Structure formats: C-alpha cells, structure tokens
Amino acid sequence: MTSAPALEVERVSHAFGARKALDDVSLVAPSGAFTALLGQNGAGKTTLFSLVTRLYQNASGAIRVEGFDVRRTPSQALARLGVVFQARTLDLELTVMQNLQYHAALHGIGGREARGRARALLERFGLADRAGERVRSLSGGQMRRVEIARALLHGPSLLLLDEPTVGLDIGSRRALLAETRRLIAEDGVGVLWATHLVDEIEAADGVVALHQGRVAFSGDVAGLKAQGGADDVGAAFLALVEPGASRGHAA
C-alpha cells in the first residue's frame, strides 16, 4: 500500500443535461477507516460512485484511488478498488462459486488460485456450505455477503458500498455492518459506505454529508454534531441541509 488515502475526490462536478448532479465535490476516504457518505435519495451518492468506478467519465476535477488517477491511470486505480452497487449484480442462475470465479477471471485470476481465494472468502463470510448452490436460493443478506466477497477477490485497498443494506432486515443489516468493520480492522481496507440511514454511523467514523450534489459537511461525527448544533447525527444532518427542519427527526 502507498501512503496516499484510499480515495481522494477533488473538485468534481457532473451534469445530466441541464441538471447538475454533483457540484464541485471534494472528499477524502482514508485507508483503514470507515467513511460514511451520508445523503438523502437523489443527493448524488450513486453518481459519485459511478464516476469513481468509471461508469461515467469525470470531465472536471480529479479522482484518485491510492494516488492513482482514475482517468490518467485507470488500470492501476481500478485494480485497487472493489465495489458493491445498490442494485444486485450477481447472476442468479449461476452458483455462488461460479459467480466468484467469473469475477476473478475478469481480474486475470484463474484456476486454482481463484478457487482458493473464493473458498477463503466464503469461509470468512459464513457461506462455505452454499458455494455449490445457485444464487437464486440465497436470502438478501447472503447475496450481499457474496457481493462483498466478490468485491474482495482481487485484494483491493478501497471498498465502495452503495446503500448496501437497502431491503435487508435489521439482523442482516447489523451483520453486514459488523462484517465490513471487521474487514477494516483485520485487513486495513478503506471503506466508503453510502447511506441515508444515520444509525449505520458510529462515533469514530468519518462523515461526508452530501446534499443536492454538494458537500454540506466533511469531518468526524463530533464535528457534524457541533456544526449542526444537535446531539445526534440525524438532527445535525437535517440542521445542515434543511435549516428549517425539526431537530427531533433523523434523516
């Protein structure tokens, strides 16, 4: 790993026709840390992820993964990046192992090495006994764990997760968060976790609050509460993005 942050976004804007989805966005997600990208629906979180992963091209500013610019050195940048999108992207008709092996092949990892990495990750996520089953048979929480395992196959230093707990029950949400935080503690992976749910954020996390395509706050939880003048994250967030909103409600 380098000494550079896991992710740096510097003055990035993006528009869809006349509508500006991102407006001069800058943020840093450190290595070995959990950074919450907090924003309501339509804030620009998914657009930002699409730019980082090069589904969209950034025409302004710079995006760097461990110091590698995604536009100038895309191969090096994307090799250090794992991503779990909000929409499910597994092939439901393939087995769990087949999904992982196919993804490994896209990264140039084949044969015995791919199977070994896949087995180790499935063991880690408590899915070793489901390797030969079709993905269609899994629960929503199990599918998410397979997607995270898939994102980790090539050993990335940055993991992007876009609203990964949407549609999951409370037990699955908690388990997914715990597993993600364990990855940070054990492997030093940097995580950018996009969410609109304030209860997924812990006191030690970094927070970037995105509202209508602009960064409304960037810092730690204590700083967010101080700037929002509230004792909880949800009320502080609303105070920053909706000054007239009641401070008794969370985002």
Q: Cβ distance 211 to 241 under 8 Å? A: yes
Q: What digits encode the pLDDT tens for the residues 132-183?
A: 999 999 999 999 999 999 999 999 999 999 999 999 999 999 999 999 999 9
pLDDT above 70 for 75: yes
104-123 burial, b if ≥16 CB within 10 A, otherwise e? beeeebeeeebbebbeebbe
Report whether 158 contacts 30 (CB < 8 A). Answer: no
CA distances from 20 to 13, 47, 218 (A): 8, 11, 20
Vertex 15 angle, CA 11 and 20, to 5°: 80
Is the predicted pLDDT of residue 82 greater than 70, yes or no? yes
Reference 2, options 59, 108, 73; nearest CA is 73
Cβ neighbours of residue 73 closer than 8 Å, sequence gap 6 or more: none
Q: Average of pLDDT values for 225-234? A: 96
Domains of the chain, residue spans? 1-80+158-243, 90-155
CATH code, residues 1-80+158-243: 3.40.50.300
For range 118-129, the mean pLDDT = 96
In the chain, what percentage of residues exceed pLDDT 90? Answer: 93
pLDDT digits (tens, 9 = 90+) for 46-57: 999 999 999 999
> Residue 208 corresponds to which amino acid?
V
| Better-scored residue on pLDDT, 248 or 225 | 225
